């Protein structure tokens, strides 16, 4: 049986990590439209250039281009038993297109996994996150063991203080993702998520495929809930 899963959740809900666990356990690849578009950076044709311009402006790529890229990815050999979709569909036109496309393959969206997280926690998970050179992750609100956090004042006082972090003892500076460093940008992404996702959830609730998962738990507990929910299908 094929397994087509749509993964939804606000930034900070742990989608990337859980997608990798689903991938390993169920043997279906993660398909992220953001990643597919980013991979086009290496190309110089007109379509790739157009996509890069749209992404740089922070807009969404048009539906026809997005749908075509997904169809192309779903036709590849490793996707024949299904995929985990991340970042797609982003609106109801894409959702309807996907459903029609899958029905032509005698398949369907088996589950829409909604990783639920309250927005204040989502903000803190993103804003407080720092990483070391080996990919180790810390958070000034949740996991500050062995890390010194401080606020660096802006000398010109034109910007808010900046969160800085270093490993205790060695004073090795820890990095923040540039898109996590701005409170404004995080709030903007949360707003966009709310605007785009709510109508989609209503769309998929009509077919009974939405599975709500509490993402405010340990990584293992979230994974265990996801695994059980998918195995029950």
Name the residues that contact ligand AMP, by CB under 6 A: 33-34, 37, 54-55, 59-61, 66, 87-88, 90, 94
Instruction: Tell the smallest beta-carbon distance from residue 34 to ligand AMP (Å).
Output: 2
Instruction: Tell the smallest beta-carbon distance from residue 222 to ligand AMP (Å).
Output: 20
* Encoded tokens for 215: 């993402």
Cβ proximity to ligand AMP, 73 vs 90, nearer residue: 90
SS3 content of the chain, % helix, strand, coil (to 5): 45, 20, 35
Cβ proximity to ligand AMP, 37 vs 138, nearer residue: 37
Cβ proximity to ligand AMP, 125 vs 174, nearer residue: 125
Distance CA 140, CA 150 (A): 9
Burial state string for 49-71 with b = 16 or more CB within 10 A and e = fewer than 16 = eebbeebeeeeebebeebbebbe
Cβ proximity to ligand AMP, 88 vs 204, nearer residue: 88
Residue nearest ligand AMP (C-beta atom): 34
Instruction: Tell the smallest beta-carbon distance from residue 185 to ligand AMP (Å).
Output: 12
* Encoded tokens for 117: 């997280």
Helix or strand or coil: residue 222?
helix
Contact 63, 70 (CB under 8 A): no
What φ, ψ does residue 176 adopt, rounded to 5°? Answer: -110, 145
C-alpha atoms less than 13 angstroms from C-alpha of 61 in its C-beta half-sphere: 27
Instruction: Tell the smallest beta-carbon distance from residue 154 to ligand AMP (Å).
Output: 28
Instruction: Tell the smallest beta-carbon distance from residue 77 to ligand AMP (Å).
Output: 23
Cβ proximity to ligand AMP, 52 vs 143, nearer residue: 52
Instruction: Tell the smallest beta-carbon distance from residue 29 to ligand AMP (Å).
Output: 16
Cβ proximity to ligand AMP, 6 vs 140, nearer residue: 6
| Residue carrying the six token digits 């024949």 | 80
* Encoded tokens for 199: 């109508």
């Amino acid at each position: 049986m094929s397994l087509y899963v749509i993964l939804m959740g606000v930034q900070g809900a742990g989608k990337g990590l859980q997608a990798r666990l689903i991938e390993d356990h169920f043997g279906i690849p993660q398909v992220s439209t953001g990643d597919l578009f980013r991979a086009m950076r290496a190309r110089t044709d007109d379509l790739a250039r157009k996509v890069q311009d749209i992404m740089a402006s922070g807009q969404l790529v048009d539906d026809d281009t997005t749908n075509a890229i997904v169809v192309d990815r779903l036709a590849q050999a490793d996707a024949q038993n299904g995929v985990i979709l991340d970042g797609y569909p982003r609106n109801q036109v894409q959702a309807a297109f996907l459903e029609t496309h899958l029905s032509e393959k005698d398949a369907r969206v088996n589950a829409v996994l909604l990783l639920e997280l309250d927005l204040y926690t989502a903000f803190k998970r993103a804003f407080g996150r720092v990483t070391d050179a080996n990919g180790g992750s810390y958070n000034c609100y949740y996991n500050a063991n062995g890390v010194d956090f401080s606020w660096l004042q802006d000398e010109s006082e034109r910007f808010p203080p900046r969160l800085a972090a270093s490993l205790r003892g060695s004073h090795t500076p820890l990095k923040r993702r540039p898109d996590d460093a701005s409170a404004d940008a995080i709030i903007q992404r949360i707003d966009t998520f709310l605007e785009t996702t709510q109508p989609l959830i209503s769309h998929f609730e009509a077919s009974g495929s939405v599975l709500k998962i509490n993402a405010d738990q340990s990584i293992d507990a979230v994974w265990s809930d996801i695994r059980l929910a998918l195995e029950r299908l």
